[in-house]
């Protein structure tokens, strides 16, 4: 059986790490790479990854051409957070007959913010016989797939709370920038409202995914993000933060059913914050899950996108969510063994 053929669409921080991870795996190969950055287009992917040898895959800005020619089984897409912006890119991939796994946060449950685009994309994917999935660490796992999976041992569920707390100082520059480090509280609000910084995208998508898994009908979702204000001088590798300036973000998503809060997802991403995740399920039985080590975001995103490949290659065509696929697991063997029809 041939190797699983993969295209990387978006050779940025995540795309680069996805490519490096795939090079360490068996039964899978990179056959194409797409990006618009003039510094990357025309270069061999090996050079962009900082490898000694070339990979024979030249980064192209013409996605249609390169995807039609290279015929990937799946394209791993990591360029942006909002489906309306990346929609033409996803369409190009689907039109070329490739399955898609994307880190686009709003694609994790696209029917919430973009119902019409979702219907169109689902129809197109079915026509072309391919699967489209939005995934990642969050949305994609911590607030949704993990939560829904934990409820598998519950007879009843009344209320869910999922918390993620992380030390922003340990994260890379774009993350520290997108949560507003060093801004005044006024600048933070202005930039967040103008879409110049995003902080976390996907509270509502995670809530809707969990609700869908449980069969709950959510009648309202609230999303709130506020700055965490520094009380003393703080410093990261990239930013100096004075007292009174923004040291991070605190955000919530709340899902209501019959006007009662039933799902709450909470984020603290601030300099010096504790690294942990916690999930509290009120039901029968009550559950309290905690990871005191904290899940490292980039490693987890890359792993999730790659580990979902066998699930997606064996799924029915259409626009799917993590809830419709079997729960993820690490792929440690040969990818070809996991995509055979009888596995």
- 244 contacts ligand NAP (rule: CB under 6 A): no
DSSP assignment of 180-246: TTT--HHHHHHHHHTTS--S---HHHHHHHHHHHHT----EEEEEEEEEEPSS-EE-SS-EE-TTSE
Size of the site for ligand NAP (CB under 6 A): 24
DSSP state of 111: T
* Shortest spacing between CB 240 and ligand NAP, in angstroms: 23
Nearer to ligand NAP, 148 or 339 (CB): 148
Listed in sequence order, the residues at least 6 apart from 215 whose beta carbon sits closer than 8 Å to its beta carbon are none
Measured distance CA(287)–CA(274) in Å, rounded: 22
Give me the least distance between CB of 265 and ligand NAP, in Å please: 13
Separation CA 147–CA 234 (nearest Å): 34
Closer Cβ to ligand NAP, 32 or 230, answer by number: 32
DSSP 8-class letter at 142: T
Q: Which of residues 131-150 bind ligand NAP (CB under 6 A)?
A: 136-140
Residue 91 or 157 having the CB closest to ligand NAP: 91
Kindly state whether residue 243 participates in binding ligand NAP, applying the rule CB under 6 A. Answer: no
For the bound state, the minimum distance from the C-beta of residue 280 to ligand NAP, rounded and expressed in Å, comes to 22
Residue 42 engages ligand NAP in binding (rule: CB under 6 A): no
Gap between the Cα atoms of 245 and 229, Å rounded: 6
**Residue (199 or 339) nearer to ligand NAP, CB:** 199
Q: Is residue 45 a contact residue for ligand NAP (CB under 6 A)?
A: no
Other C-beta atoms within 10 Å of 52: how many? 6
Q: Closest residue to ligand NAP, Cβ-based?
A: 12
Would you give the DSSP letter of residue 130? -
Q: Min. distance of Cβ 2 from ligand NAP in angstroms? A: 26
* 108-147 CB burial, b ≥16 within 10 A, e <16: bbbbbbbeebbeebbebbbebebbbbbbbbbbbbbbbbbb
What is the maximum span of the chain, computed from C-alpha positions, in angstroms? 60
- Residues 223-242 within binding reach of ligand NAP (CB under 6 A): none
Q: Which stretch, 5-13, 160-168, 228-236, 273-281, contacts ligand NAP (CB under 6 A)?
A: 5-13
> Rounded to whole angstroms, how far apart are CA atoms 142 and 200?
13
Kindly write out the interface string for residues 87-126 of this chain, putting x where it contacts ligand NAP by CB under 6 A and - elsewhere: --x-------------x-x---------------------
For residue 139, cis peptide bond before it (omega within 30 degrees of 0): yes
Query: Under rule CB under 6 A, which residues in 67-86 are in contact with ligand NAP?
Result: 78-81
Of the candidate residues 36, 150, 257, 287, the single one contacting ligand NAP (CB under 6 A) = 36
CA distance 110 to 118: 6
User: Binding to ligand NAP by residue 317, rule CB under 6 A?
Assistant: no
Binding mask 291-310 for ligand NAP (x = CB under 6 A): ----------x---------
Least gap, CB of 233 to ligand NAP (angstroms)? 28
Report helix, strand or coil for 81. coil
Q: Which is nearer to ligand NAP, 282 or 298 (CB)?
A: 298
Helix ranges (DSSP H) in the chain: 13-23, 45-48, 63-70, 83-95, 115-128, 145-150, 173-178, 185-193, 203-214, 297-307, 309-313, 335-339
Query: Within 145-184, which residues bind ligand NAP (CB under 6 A)?
Result: 174
The helix (run of H) or strand (run of E) holding residue 100 is strand 99-102
322 scored as a contact of ligand NAP (CB under 6 A):
no
> Which residues here bind ligand NAP, judged by CB under 6 A?
10-15, 34-37, 78-81, 89, 103, 105, 136-140, 174, 301
């Amino acid at each position: 059986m041939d190797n699983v053929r993969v295209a990387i669409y978006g050779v940025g921080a995540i795309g680069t790490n996805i490519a490096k991870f795939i090079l360490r795996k068996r039964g899978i190969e990179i056959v194409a790479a797409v990006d618009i950055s003039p510094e990357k287009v025309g270069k061999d992917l090996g050079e962009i990854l900082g490898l000694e040898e070339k990979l024979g895959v030249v980064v192209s800005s013409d996605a249609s051409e390169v995807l039609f020619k290279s015929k990937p089984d799946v394209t791993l897409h990591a360029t942006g957070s909002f489906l309306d912006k990346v929609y033409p890119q996803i369409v190009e991939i689907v039109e070329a007959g490739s399955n898609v796994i994307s880190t686009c946060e709003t694609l994790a449950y696209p029917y919430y913010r973009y119902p019409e685009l979702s219907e169109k994309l689902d129809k197109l994917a079915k026509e072309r016989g391919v699967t489209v999935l939005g995934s990642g660490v969050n949305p994609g796992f911590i607030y949704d797939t993990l939560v829904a999976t934990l409820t598998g041992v519950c007879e009843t569920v009344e209320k869910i709370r999922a918390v993620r707390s992380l030390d922003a100082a340990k994260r890379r520059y774009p993350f520290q920038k997108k949560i507003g480090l060093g801004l005044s509280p006024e600048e933070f609000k202005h930039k967040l409202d103008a879409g110049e910084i995003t902080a976390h995208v996907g509270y509502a998508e995670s809530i809707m995914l969990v609700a869908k898994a449980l069969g709950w009908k959510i009648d309202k979702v609230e999303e709130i993000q506020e700055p965490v204000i520094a009380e003393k001088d703080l410093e990261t590798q990239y930013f100096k933060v004075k007292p009174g300036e923004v040291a991070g973000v605190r955000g919530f998503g709340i899902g209501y059913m019959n006007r009662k809060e039933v799902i709450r997802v909470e984020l603290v991403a601030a300099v010096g914050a504790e690294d942990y995740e916690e999930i509290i399920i009120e039901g029968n039985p009550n559950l309290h899950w905690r990871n005191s080590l904290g899940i490292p975001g980039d490693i987890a995103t890359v792993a999730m996108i790659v580990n979902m490949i066998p699930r997606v290659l064996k799924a029915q065509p259409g626009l799917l969510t993590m809830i419709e696929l079997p729960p993820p697991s690490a792929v440690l063997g040969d990818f070809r063994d996991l995509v055979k029809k009888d596995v």
